[in-house]
Structure 1
């Protein structure tokens, strides 16, 4: 997240949390102090005016006004200068001091806000696991206090960390829940802020079109409020989204706009270093390496190794630039630093990028064994990220469904309460109307029963969608893996044969690059149809990756499985695909493995995967046994 957005919006957001969730309990009136608190609640003010507001509140609130004084003490936890490690450590110590202070005991909501403050600063120190423990505790306490504003604040800030870590399932569940809560409380400023976090998550998990749309809405809202700096900061996020779309010229235009705005305002060297990183990244995408190196050299002195996230990005870009210019020794040095930095911050997306560049460098050095080991490590990291992406759509649907369900249940509770009051009045006035009330209650029960039946059917439909690949309509990775583990255990217990075929399309990237992604999708659908049509009724074909498929063959020995795989390879190689592109043909490579002493399904998959790798090495369009 860029510095404009992080230092101005995020901290004001946290200030608002501290003020908005705690009721004013002081007996005496203090309208001027309350007015300042209200400004912060509604998102007015910037980091520049923060100290001024604190000083004014200090003079306005007497020592005997305990509730307001405690609110002010909680507010003091937050400071805008997050690039200063001394400030961060001081803020954590300050939060600990007040969390243990006896005078804070009667104010559990303020203690929760101090816990959020402490956890957020721990996150800035890259103590991510401890920060996440604090966020989890804050969410739990917010629900116990039944404070919707605190629930929204805690889930929003936790969702941002989930999103940064690449855990999009949890991120969307938190952020969408927070969004509904903010909108229900008509907190437009903070729902707009949270909208930016949702947009960032969309960008990170591969939906940049929606991300740009949400960021543009958010930018216009800030412009209407006259918040030019924040709107300018959002341009960086839009630039990142254009990078995801592959529109690097547009991305460069956005990043340069932010960089030049920072130059005009004479921002701090650290801020300018981050903007320079963004410009360099776009230039590297456009293969303008020498220009990128100029920006990277400008940024390098101002990004320290303890600023793990930015330090990792700096070294990734330097490694790529030096690789492009064939300075392999320098490239390797920086990619190792990037890999360590991203692994320390548990940023799997960054680690994946570092491993990819590292494998390229090792390949250029002809260190084939190290390159192979790095590729295997990259594969494992990619699998972990792919599993998270697999669940992201389900999480989004579930989050929205649960929010709608919560609103519907609230409406039902209000209706039930109204009917009970009406029943009491009618009973007092006329006993004969009790029959009508009972009939009405019966009708409501029937309606509720129909509603629950509809919801049950809808849930079943959603479960089916969660187990099906949307493009090929085959079982998805999760579904076929669960089935594979069951079949493996059953065959092992009954001492029967069980084999699997793992295959993928050869040179599939070229199909997308030359014919386009629509043609690539049509090829995948064709592969799915052909492979499914050639299997027996009891067998299962599933899509487990981009162009990778898995076939489960019950009661099938290895020799027969190899015959089936070879027939599949031949059939696909001879298939007429003129409807996709005249003269177009596609081939596959396959690895076959059968149950033979393995202790679990994962080991069987590993053998098939190794066999597939050998088929690729053997020239593709063939079958190998594992």
Structure 2
């Protein structure tokens, strides 16, 4: 799949993110048309050393091993197919090697054909993928099913939008994980990550690209690993890390040039064009974009030709060469219409609007902007919408429609604020990922050190046994030595016993210990005819805290909540952690009313925690359920179950509150 995934993907234009019709208010510092992504997912797909396809004229006899060898080369990105003729020849050779009545290899041929055979007919490609998926399901061929999911996704992008393909990629990724197929998993992660990158989810995209890189490296798929660097470069560029992006792009260009990989060279040229936009240097974008256009036409790839022309139109608009922009847009539309590619419709209208506005045709520009909005709104891409609002506000102002201009400027401010918040969230996720990676590395080193220590302990224990045997022979002096060793072992076992009953993170009783304490308290209360109350509580929205701030912050929240609650309890009250963010409190000799007061105190104390040192604006609360021991209770589980009923009611009633169950 890696080799062919990019066959139908497009490298599209990218804006510098500012009003190209001289709007005085800047938009977001970046924005790409939908088709830019198409090449990146595909770049992992278009391979390495150029096959000598001209030698394929004489088709060989069917052979299972020869078929597998050639199919592996395609799947593992070891062939670069630079033209439709080369693609047709390689597919003919693969089909000639296909043994008859071999259902598994037949499905493999079909999914490779699915990726490669429809470069300019997305509708036929989608139908082919649908049929292949149904046949793979009937044959219970999970690998083929995943590949047809990925293939269908790439055509769905062209016919609809990239976001529409996420369900296909998610389904294929799940199958790849189940199969433990590292190469197939990497392909799916690259495809999904590229969509996320295009939609502005750069942190998610990088996580997918980096996981794909680990999968490829683990499976020793060097070609796919090298090709994936272009995806990483693009994500860094969209994050504004231009130097990092440039370094990866140079590496990708060298790699592609060494192997004659035309598709990767085309994508690299497009990326360098986008970098020129973002550095306010549209004049230097034309050379790489023109080269990308020439490569696309050389390959017979009308989709990427249209994308390159659209990017050139953006450059012309930035330079205020509006007539040249209009001409480039018309040529781009011809290419896209020829292959039923609707993915750039919104960006086409937007660039037409900018050009018409620059030529003073404000009424015509407004029609273009309105058409662009209808198309772009469905994708909810904030970067495009920010550019649209900025450009349209200028046109409204030029026509004297100040109220409409003000409305667009307000929407621009709102969109830019949302983009800023999203950018901060992206960096938070990246920092969390980097921290978690460092923590995993530290944990791995600690485990390695523990292993060495345990091995040393085993050696020491063996020596101890030898000394014990010798002690029996040597008499009383060595018996004293044996007693000393036994005493040391006793203290060690007592320490281990304590640790076994304690939660290692918070230091309070673990589930086993607090449940034992609850059972004991029930027996004592009944024996002495005393009251007893228990509380159950958990931290509200704890999963959201972990997702937004990382598990390290989540661990600190658990420690601080536990410490605060422990400080508010009596010495003989028992607090224990029963689950991830779930706790149980045993209150001996306490009636329900007093237990409610204790619960309210815990709730208030936790709500008052200051957590700005962990994350600015972070707050935390708990929900509690309270119940009192009744004569009819069969034991601990009945009591806890009743408290949990109250806890769930507290959650359903808005959280950060106390409820009792009588």
Cα pair distance change 1:302/1:113, threshold 3 Å:
closer
- Partners of 2:270 and 2:422 in 1: CA distance: 25
Match of 2:106 among 59, 69, 73: 69
- TM-score, normalization by structure 2: 0.58
- Partners of 1:372 and 1:13 in 2: CA distance: 45
Match of 1:290 in 2: 323
Cα displacement (A) at 1:302 = 3.8
- Partners of 1:270 and 1:146 in 2: CA distance: 34
CA contact (8 A) 1:169 1:393 kept: yes
Cα displacement (A) at 1:11 = 4.7
Cα pair distance change 1:420/1:267, threshold 3 Å:
same
Alignment of 1:108-507 (within 5 A): 108-262=142-296, 265=298, 267=300, 270-304=303-337, 307-403=341-437, 432=466
CA contact (8 A) 2:123 2:159 kept: no
Match of 1:91 in 2: 128
Unmatched tracts of structure 1, length 5 or more: 17-27, 446-451, 454-458, 465-493, 495-537, 545-549, 551-626
CA contact (8 A) 2:159 2:343 kept: no
SS of the residue 1:309 aligns to: coil
Unmatched tracts of structure 2, length 5 or more: 1-9, 13-34, 48-61, 469-484, 497-504, 507-548, 555-603, 605-609, 618-662
- Partners of 1:432 and 1:148 in 2: CA distance: 49
- Partners of 1:429 and 1:65 in 2: CA distance: 62
Aligned residues: 447
Question: Which has the larger displacement, 405-414 or 269-278?
Answer: 405-414
1:52 paired to 2:85: no
SS of the residue 1:78 aligns to: helix
Cα displacement (A) at 1:89 = 2.8
Cα pair distance change 1:44/1:169, threshold 3 Å:
same
CA contact (8 A) 2:146 2:175 kept: yes
- Partners of 1:37 and 1:160 in 2: CA distance: 25
1:150-207 Cα deviation digits (max 9, x unpaired): 3322222111111111112221221222223323333222122221112111222322
- Partners of 1:418 and 1:87 in 2: CA distance: 60
- Partners of 1:363 and 1:330 in 2: CA distance: 14
1:14-69 Cα deviation digits (max 9, x unpaired): 599xxxxxxxxxxx984322321232114313163333333323232323544433
- Partners of 1:142 and 1:417 in 2: CA distance: 33
Cα displacement (A) at 1:320 = 0.9
CA contact (8 A) 2:269 2:288 kept: yes
Match of 2:137 among 100, 109, 116: 100
Flag the structure with larger Rg: 2
1:359-396 Cα deviation digits (max 9, x unpaired): 11111111112112222222332232222211222222
- Partners of 1:216 and 1:203 in 2: CA distance: 13
1:496-549 Cα deviation digits (max 9, x unpaired): xxxxxxxxxxxxxxxxxxxxxxxxxxxxxxxxxxxxxxxxxx9x9xx99xxxxx
Cα displacement (A) at 1:93 = 2.1
- TM-score, normalization by structure 1: 0.61
CA contact (8 A) 2:273 2:288 kept: yes
